[in-house]
Amino acid sequence: MFRLCLCFVLILSDSVLCLLTQLASLERCTDAMASHSSSPVPHPSSGGSEGIFRKDRDPSSRQYRPVHSLPDVCPKEPTGEATRGLCEGPSVVADQHRWTVYNSKVNLPAALNDPRLAKRESDFFTKSWGLDFAETEVMPSFYLPNITKEHFGPYLQETAQREKIHERCKNICPNKDELDAVSSITNNHDKSRTELEQVPKIFMKPDFALDDPTTFNAVLPWSHFNSAGRKSSRDMASSRLLQEKLSHYLDVVEVSIARQISLRSEAFFHAMSSQHELQDRLTETARAVAVLRGRTAAIERIMCEGPLRALRQALTRSNCARLHNKLKLMAAVHQSQPTVQLLLSTSEFVGALELIATTKEVLQQELQGIHSFRHLGSQLCEMEKLIDKMMVEDFSMYSRSDLSRSLEDDGQVMEKDRLESLVFGLLRQRKLDFLDIYSDEMILAAKSIVTQSVVDSVSQIEEIDTDIVTKLADQMRLMTFPQWFELLKSVFENFILFLKRIKATLSVVRNVVLEALDSNQKSRLLERAAAGGLAEAPGTPLNQGEAELAYLTHEGLFISDALNDALSRLDGCGSDSASGTTESSSSREHAFQPGGAAGISEDMMPSDLELGRVANNIQELLYTASDVSHDRCVKVLMARAKDGSLERLSSAEFVFLSQAVEGFVKDTEELCCRRSVSLRGALQSQANRFVHRFHEERKTKLSLLLDNERWKQAEVPAEFQDLVNSIADGRITLPERKPQGTEERKPSDYLHIDGQKYAVVGTVLLLIRIFLEYCQCVNDIPSISTDMLTRLSDLLKHFNSRSCQLVLGAGALQVVGLKTITTKNLALASRCLQLVVHYIPVIRAHFETKLTPKQYSVLRHFDHITKDYSDHIAEISAKLVSIMDSMFEKVLSKYEVKAPMPSACFRNVCKQMAKMHEALYELLPEEQAQMLFLRINASLKIHLKRQLARLGVHHDGGPQHGLVTVDVAFYTENVQSLRTLEKLDLNMAEIWEQKR
């Protein structure tokens, strides 16, 4: 019994300590509640309305009023008894399975002693309810000034000195009451500790239990008693002693408990009174909470359940609509494969690709994860690859049929809409190498054009047996030049039509590429505009890009509706190919729209850089077409020239060929804006060969003429006079042969040029025509100007050197069989050379107009030729003078000064001078004749002076002087009697030596 009492006392002591601790906490909470601006217990304010509860400011005057119900929040709410029913608590039957606020229970001591909190919260009831209490900031009042530390500055300065003095005195002289209290508490605590140490430790163990035999035997040692059950005197004494010891322990504990209670009695009774007050407030708060809960339940039943049910039904309806739309979308996607096959049957590749791209986009965004469509994505990819192959094959077939159709058809593009659809589909699939296919087909078509042209031409020529001569090149070589030239012109015309067709087709392809490039740029502009206009008003109408977004999010036209619309259009079109092409064009235009279906696959379209490269490749393909056409024509030209037939053409025929080639080249340059050099190079090669043959023929002809020339004056036919007259008029061309009239004009003895008469030989007349042929050839073939100039200069040099060999070198004696080279031959050769020198500046000016400034250096050949001819003319003049000089030397060496006069010597001299004049008078102009006879006269004076000196005849007035004077006068009279020499100053006084 004593053990039980002791345990109860110990447990009570611990409970009292815990209770005191809790009461202290409650006291702090109560003080905090009293100091807070608002109380969780509603109290009606004295000046406020009934619906507002506030805490009384004065605790002493605190009065408790009955809790009033809140006013009705719904004007249509029933009143009276129904109101009382609404204010009641929840129904146990109706709400037994629902969690309500009434199920909320809180263990107040557990909440206060929450070990998860770092510290005790003094303002527990002012916190937001929950696991983690958060501090709330109170907005400062706008009507109170902002008090800072500076406002207390003057006060702190005044009290600072007194505070220091107070603290110093407090430390020196501590409070007596505090010292007594501390000493008493210390003494009592030490005393109670000493007394409690007398109690055995076993009673203080937390696991103390008397039902444990060990503990029971330790507390009550029954071993000291008689085991037989008999009570001896010693056992009685031990029992009494044990009882007194336990009583002593009990008294010590009771005294210690009483001491502890007496020390904490004030706090205990204060806590008890605070607990009663708190209980009253909690009771009143519970009543207010019950009223609030009732009204909340009524509000939930009347005002919340209906709207929530409406919202729930609206959400359910929206979910059902979404499910229905999703099922429609699944049905539309399920029909995508048959629709793609239907579009492919009409070659609607663009529409099929757009449908596949849209379906793949829907599968990735809207229908992702649906089990029934797990294989549809891979099937669409395989179908897209199949469409790529079909488009490439279709484009190849289109290119082949377009390029191989008859060139006589109109120049319109074949199936333009189909071509545009194919090109856009290939661009969309990034098949940017489709131009290579067109290039290959173009090369094959160019070969077939030449083959077909040759076959058509050969079929009209009966002389060529195609069974024997099978090769096209051999067949072309068997043609005459007119036949082959007609074939060449036919090839040129066909290639011009061929290039026009290619240019028209490539123009359509280029427009599609530029349209795609423009579409990409517009798409980027719309994206930027959409990115900048996200904050627009909600009432703004949707633009094209937003409409597409609505389409994808099922706010606009659904894919099923779009497919049904497409199917209806296809059914309406039927099997009409034109309608199919129109649909292709419309789908392509729709795909080009920045907000159309192309926006879905915008990433699949080539970039601007790639499209720019394709556009450049299109232009390069046109250049290639021009080069291929020229290469084919070169093969036709080379096949004809293989046996040298082009070199044997006449100048007129080669001019026709050159003009035809030059015209074709110019037409292709204007059409393709490309300067192809292959055909011109081949023509230049043939022209060089032609020039070489042309020059060799004329050089050989000139050599034959010179070898047969007898160097006699020839008559000048009227046509040659007309020829030089045309040159005088500035036309360096060969005049057309006029038909012979009834009256033929007589030839003249001289060639009249610029008021001068030229006595010429027949070879020079032909030479004039030859170099006019050179000039005419340069007019017709400007590309051979430099080569022709070099050959003409060579021809003129050959004439000069060969004529020098024949006349001055006396080669004509052996070649032609002349007996001697007379002065007349020499004068005639000089006059011919002068005629050539007269035309050299004319020829030079003509060639200068045909050359570029960089080629002017070749004109120096004419300067060299002029110098050579001038030297040759001077040599002929010197030759004439030397002939007379040798005669003077021979005759005057036998001169004797004696009668009769005039002497035979001077008679012979005058006779020779008359013969010379007679030979030169009709050949040389007056000025040249006078200069020549002055030089002959000078030679005479030299020889006469030398002979007189040898004879010793002086100018002394003697008889010999007189005889010489008579002979000189006779000579002078005879010379001046000759035509054109009347005014010639012979100055014969120079024959006499001057006396020193």
Whether pLDDT at 393 is above 50: yes
Nearest CA to 593 out of 605, 581, 578 is that of 605
Residue 833 DSSP one-character state: H
Rounded distance between C-alpha atoms, residue 104 and residue 106, angstroms:
7
240, HSE (Cβ side, Cα atoms, 13 Å): 7
Residue 296 lies in a domain: no
User: What's the pLDDT at 122?
Assistant: 52
Whole-Å CA distances, 571 to 339, 576, 579, 580: 12, 11, 11, 11
Cis bond leading into 900, ω under 30°?
yes
**Helix boundaries (H) for 709-805:** 718-728, 762-780, 785-803
3-class state of residue 309 by DSSP: helix
Q: Binning pLDDT at 50, 70 and 90, where does residue 319 land? A: very high
Position with higher pLDDT, 88 vs 190: 190
What phi and psi values does residue 796 have, to the nearest 5 degrees?
A: -65, -40
- Residue type (1 letter), 785: S
User: What's the pLDDT at 390?
Assistant: 78
Burial of 617 (0-12, 13-18, 19+ CB in 10 A): buried
Q: Binning pLDDT at 50, 70 and 90, where does residue 802 land? A: very high
Least confident of 167-171, 707-711, 769-773, 796-800: 167-171
Tell which of 204, 235, 263 closes a domain: 263
What phi and psi values does residue 556 have, to the nearest 5 degrees?
A: -130, -135
Tell which of 219, 237, 263 closes a domain: 263
Mean pLDDT of 942-962: 88
Rounded distance between C-alpha atoms, residue 625 and residue 402, angstroms:
15
Mean pLDDT of 508-524: 80
Mean pLDDT of 966-973: 91
Mean pLDDT of 43-54: 38
545: its two tokens:
């890009």
| C-beta separation of 771 from 688 below 8 A | no
Percent of the chain clearing pLDDT 90 (strictly above): 15
Whether pLDDT at 796 is above 90: yes
Q: Both 481 and 442 in a single domain?
A: yes
Nearest CA to 758 out of 834, 839, 837, 868 is that of 834
Mean pLDDT of 329-345: 76
921-933 per-position pLDDT tens digit: 888 898 999 999 9
Tell me how long the chain is: 996
Whether pLDDT at 498 is above 80: yes
Residue 57 lies in a domain: no
Residues 817-838 as b/e (b if ≥16 CB within 10 A, e otherwise) read ebeebebbbbbbbbbbbbbbbe
User: What's the pLDDT at 70?
Assistant: 38
User: What's the pLDDT at 179?
Assistant: 55
Rounded to 5°, the CA angle 63-69-74 comes to 150
392: its two tokens:
């490439």
Q: Both 867 and 848 in a single domain?
A: yes
Residue 869 lies in a domain: yes
Tell which of 858, 874, 893 closes a domain: 893
- Tell me the torsion sign for CA atoms 251, 256, 259, 260: negative
Whether pLDDT at 863 is above 90: yes
Rounded distance between C-alpha atoms, residue 600 and residue 585, angstroms:
19
Whether pLDDT at 908 is above 80: yes
Q: Binning pLDDT at 50, 70 and 90, where does residue 183 land? A: low
Q: Binning pLDDT at 50, 70 and 90, where does residue 96 land? A: low
Q: Both 671 and 717 in a single domain?
A: no
694, HSE (Cβ side, Cα atoms, 13 Å): 29
Cis bond leading into 606, ω under 30°?
no
228, HSE (Cβ side, Cα atoms, 13 Å): 3
Whether pLDDT at 441 is above 60: yes
Residue 756 bridge partners (DSSP) = 753
Chain-centre distance of CA 931, in angstroms? 82
Q: Both 661 and 768 in a single domain?
A: no
Q: Both 634 and 777 in a single domain?
A: no
Residues 9-36 as b/e (b if ≥16 CB within 10 A, e otherwise) read bbeebeebeebbebbbbbbbbbeebeee
Percent of the chain clearing pLDDT 70 (strictly above): 72
Q: Both 429 and 512 in a single domain?
A: yes
User: What's the pLDDT at 55?
Assistant: 40
What phi and psi values does residue 992 have, to the nearest 5 degrees?
A: -95, 140
3-class state of residue 540 by DSSP: coil
Mean pLDDT of 388-401: 79
Long-range contacts of range 15-23, CB-CB < 8 Å, 24 or more positions apart? 16/257, 16/260, 16/261, 17/260, 20/264, 20/267, 20/268, 20/271, 22/109, 22/112, 22/113, 23/267, 23/268, 23/271, 23/272, 23/274, 23/275
Q: Both 945 and 889 in a single domain?
A: no
Three state DSSP letters for 156-219: HHHHHHHHHHHHHHHHHCCCHHHHHHHHHHHHHHHHHHHHHCCCCHHHHCCCCCCCCHHHHHHH
Q: Binning pLDDT at 50, 70 and 90, where does residue 901 land? A: confident
Q: Both 886 and 961 in a single domain?
A: no
Q: Both 649 and 725 in a single domain?
A: no
Whether pLDDT at 585 is above 60: no
DSSP string for 884-932: HHHHHHHHHTT----SSSS-HHHHHHHHHHHHHHHHHHTTS-HHHHHHH
Residue 515 lies in a domain: yes
Q: Binning pLDDT at 50, 70 and 90, where does residue 95 land? A: low
Least confident of 176-185, 320-329, 636-645: 176-185
| C-beta separation of 402 from 498 below 8 A | no
- Residue type (1 letter), 230: R
Mean pLDDT of 144-171: 86
Mean pLDDT of 262-280: 83
User: What's the pLDDT at 119?
Assistant: 54
Residue 92 lies in a domain: no
482-492 per-position pLDDT tens digit: 888 888 888 88
Q: Name, in order, each residue with C-beta under 8 angstroms of 668's C-beta and a sequence gap of 6 or more.
A: 495, 496, 499, 626, 629, 630, 674, 676
687, HSE (Cβ side, Cα atoms, 13 Å): 25
Q: Both 522 and 649 in a single domain?
A: yes
Rounded distance between C-alpha atoms, residue 275 and residue 22, angstroms:
10
- Residue type (1 letter), 372: S
Position with higher pLDDT, 740 vs 783: 783
What phi and psi values does residue 748 have, to the nearest 5 degrees?
A: -105, 165
Q: Binning pLDDT at 50, 70 and 90, where does residue 19 land? A: very low
Whether pLDDT at 833 is above 80: yes
Residue 757 bridge partners (DSSP) = 752
Whether pLDDT at 27 is above 70: no
Residue 856 lies in a domain: yes
The total of other beta-carbon atoms located within 10 Å of residue 259's CB is: 15
Whether pLDDT at 53 is above 50: no
965: its two tokens:
């004077």
Mean pLDDT, the chain, integer: 75
Whether pLDDT at 154 is above 50: yes
Residue 870 lies in a domain: yes
Specify whether the backbone of 746 is left (phi greater than 0), alpha (psi in -120 to 50) or beta.
beta
Rounded distance between C-alpha atoms, residue 634 and residue 683, angstroms:
8
Q: Both 813 and 957 in a single domain?
A: no
Residue 954 lies in a domain: yes
Rounded distance between C-alpha atoms, residue 273 and residue 5, angstroms:
29
Alpha-carbon Rg for the chain in angstroms = 69
- What's the first-to-final CA gap in the chain, in angstroms? 199
Position with higher pLDDT, 201 vs 53: 201
User: What's the pLDDT at 94?
Assistant: 52
In 447-493, the DSSP E strands lie at none
Least confident of 119-123, 821-825, 827-831: 119-123
CATH of the domain at 956: 1.20.1280.130
What phi and psi values does residue 639 have, to the nearest 5 degrees?
A: -65, -35
Whole-Å CA distances, 775 to 37, 779, 837: 125, 6, 16
Q: Binning pLDDT at 50, 70 and 90, where does residue 907 land? A: very high
Whether pLDDT at 600 is above 50: no
Helix (H) or strand (E) holding 753: strand 751-753
CATH of the domain at 713: 1.10.357.50
User: What's the pLDDT at 455?
Assistant: 80
Q: Name, in order, each residue with C-beta under 8 angstroms of 519's C-beta and a sequence gap of 6 or more.
A: 592, 593, 594, 598, 605
Rounded distance between C-alpha atoms, residue 761 and residue 816, angstroms:
14
721-748 per-position pLDDT tens digit: 888 888 877 677 776 665 555 456 788 8
Q: Name, in order, each residue with C-beta under 8 angstroms of 65's C-beta and a sequence gap of 6 or more.
A: 43, 44
Which residue segment(s) compose the domain that 217 sits in?
A: 188-263
Q: Both 752 and 655 in a single domain?
A: no
Number of domains in the chain: 4
Mean pLDDT of 759-776: 90
Q: Binning pLDDT at 50, 70 and 90, where does residue 934 land? A: very high
Three state DSSP letters for 87-132: HCCCCCCCCCCCCCHHHCCCCHHHHHCCCCCCCCCCCHHHCCCCCC
Least confident of 284-298, 308-322, 565-579, 760-774: 565-579
Rounded distance between C-alpha atoms, residue 629 and residue 492, angstroms:
9
Mean pLDDT of 537-563: 41
